[in-house]
Structure 1
Amino acid sequence: MTVGAAVQLYLDHLAVERGAAANTLSSYRRDLHRYQRYLAARGIDDLTVVTENDVREFLVDLRRGDPEAGQPALADSSVARTLVATRGFHKFAAAEGLTTTDVAHAVRPPRPAQRLPKSLPIDDVLAILEASGGSGPSETARTLRDRALMELLYSCGARISEAVALDVDDIDTDNRSVVLRGKGGKERLVPIGGPAIEAVDAYLVRGRPALVSRFNPALFLNVRGGRLSRQSAWQVLADAARRAGVDAAVSPHTLRHSFATHLLDGGADVRVVQELLGHASVTTTQVYTLVTVGTLREVYATAHPRAR
């Protein structure tokens, strides 16, 4: 049987026997017609001569694209979707006796590219910290709170959700440490740097009393005296980045990622960073080592006499 005829049989099967939705059918038809054109370009019209290697090469072709023919490379997610249609087609062909084997059975979608955490250069982090709170005549309860919040996030690598969940009693300014409650309620004791302690002390003495309206154990308060929300804390970071002129996109994890990356750049052991971040597995933390490899390569390329 020809590939085209088999494709049509499969599409009819999806529509009639499987009751596939119109959008699903349209997607499968588009992907399988693309597969059919690929096989035709290789001189393959007989379904029984298609091999596993043909299917694998099809995926490679999708990822590579053909700029001259106006066919852009597909993203991994689109390649994976096309493979679902192709695998379903070959599974159907084998089950119906159109082929003796399912040649696509062992073909797996490409692994998505690993998304590296976004961290900022130290100078950008320092600019954000400076821009997060005013001083002198411009100092207010809110600016003191915002500076303390930003300093704390970067100093101990806390998640924003962990920072806004802090109570006053969780901070030990004498021992320069904080108790953070991570995922699953797991607690960890994390050291805090001198600048963060100074910012928190300033907020506790000159800022928080002006915000609190009733008893509230929360460390970071909003203007109504309630606990600061995660969304509001994120906005504090975004506003500080804008005032600092930092063009890079910032997220609730920006300072946390920067904390981890800068520690590793400074020579910290990955297992120590794991404990500070509260990761259950060191594998989660090791993604940051991929970030620092980029820094190592840049230094090598500029400093080693035989690097070029």
Structure 2
Amino acid sequence: MTTSETPRSTNSKGQATVWLKPAQVKDLRNAIVKKSPSYLKQRNDALIQLLYDTGLRVGEAVQVDVEHLDLDESVLGLPADLQKDYPNENTPTYTRIGLAEETTRVLDQYLSSRWKESVALFPSTHSDRMTTQAVRDVVSLAAEAAEVQPHTRTGRGEPGDITPHTLRHSVAYRMLNHEDGHTLYNVRNRLRHSTIQTTEKVYDHFDSV
């Protein structure tokens, strides 16, 4: 893997705000299908597409079970105890996340021919559930294979800068720049930030990118 450059722009936690445009996500998906073993192609493609559609955090994605999906309704139901920082006094209700038509199609194809049955949506070769590091490895492999240069607040990054969280940032970019009618409030709801101030702090600049 290519060693990441020192991030040129960071948020309050010291993490770089790095995102991809829709065509670059397509490049990731095409690359991971080419680079994955045949029995993992559909899993890895579905994983990247789900992250990019829903904005799930990596720790949430690995906890998703097949039973949380309703593909007839194109909905992912996310229990409160799967969501970051919960449960606490601000625990949200059960969250229904609408899925794009492409996501529903990819998940349906994947589930109809999985090489391994498991409760978890994304099993690994050696376990019934992928680890967060395994998800990071899939995204990194795709980024390096596609030679994708992500966008940052000050220019372009390197493939090694891309992580699953990059896809979460990319959801916000897509909503504000490629889908009509969305505001920062819509982004806040999609990404399930606790306050609109969090959304504004991270993504306010996307309107002028």
Residues 184 and 204, structure 2, Cα contact 8 Å, conserved in 1:
no
- Cα pair distance change 1:287/1:262, threshold 3 Å: farther
1:232 has 2:134 as partner? yes
49, 64, 68: which is aligned to 1:170?
A: 68
Post-superposition shift, 1:176?
A: 0.7
1:133 has 2:133 as partner? no
Q: Output the CA distance in 2 between the equivalents of 1:202 and 1:139.
A: 17
1:152 has 2:54 as partner? no
Structure 2 runs not aligned, ≥5 long: 1-11, 150-157
The normalised TM-score by structure 1 is 0.53
Post-superposition shift, 1:244?
A: 1.0
Residue 20 of structure 2: aligned partner: 120
Matches within 5 A, 1:234-273: 234-247=136-149, 248=158, 249-265=161-177, 266=179, 267-273=181-187
- Cα pair distance change 1:292/1:221, threshold 3 Å: same
Rg (Cα) greater in structure: 1
Q: How many aligned positions are there?
A: 177
Residues 261 and 291, structure 1, Cα contact 8 Å, conserved in 2:
no
Residue 190 of structure 2: aligned partner: 276
Q: Output the CA distance in 2 between the equivalents of 1:171 and 1:134.
A: 27
1:192 has 2:93 as partner? no
Cα RMSD (Å): 2.4
Residue 9 of structure 2: aligned partner: none
- Cα pair distance change 1:149/1:115, threshold 3 Å: closer
Residues 62 and 130, structure 2, Cα contact 8 Å, conserved in 1:
yes
Find the residue that maps to 1:190 and give its secondary structure: strand
Q: Output the CA distance in 1 between the equivalents of 2:175 and 2:104.
A: 19
Q: Output the CA distance in 1 between the equivalents of 2:95 and 2:134.
A: 24
Structure 1 runs not aligned, ≥5 long: 1-111, 296-308
Find the residue that maps to 2:106 and give its secondary structure: helix
Q: Output the CA distance in 2 between the equivalents of 1:270 and 1:293.
A: 9
Post-superposition shift, 1:159?
A: 0.8
Q: Output the CA distance in 2 between the equivalents of 1:260 and 1:179.
A: 20
282, 286, 292: which is aligned to 2:200?
A: 286
Q: Which has the higher contact order (CA 8 A, sep 6+)?
A: 2
The normalised TM-score by structure 2 is 0.76
Post-superposition shift, 1:191?
A: 0.9
Relative to its length, the structure with more helix (as a share) is 1
Q: Output the CA distance in 1 between the equivalents of 2:95 and 2:77.
A: 6
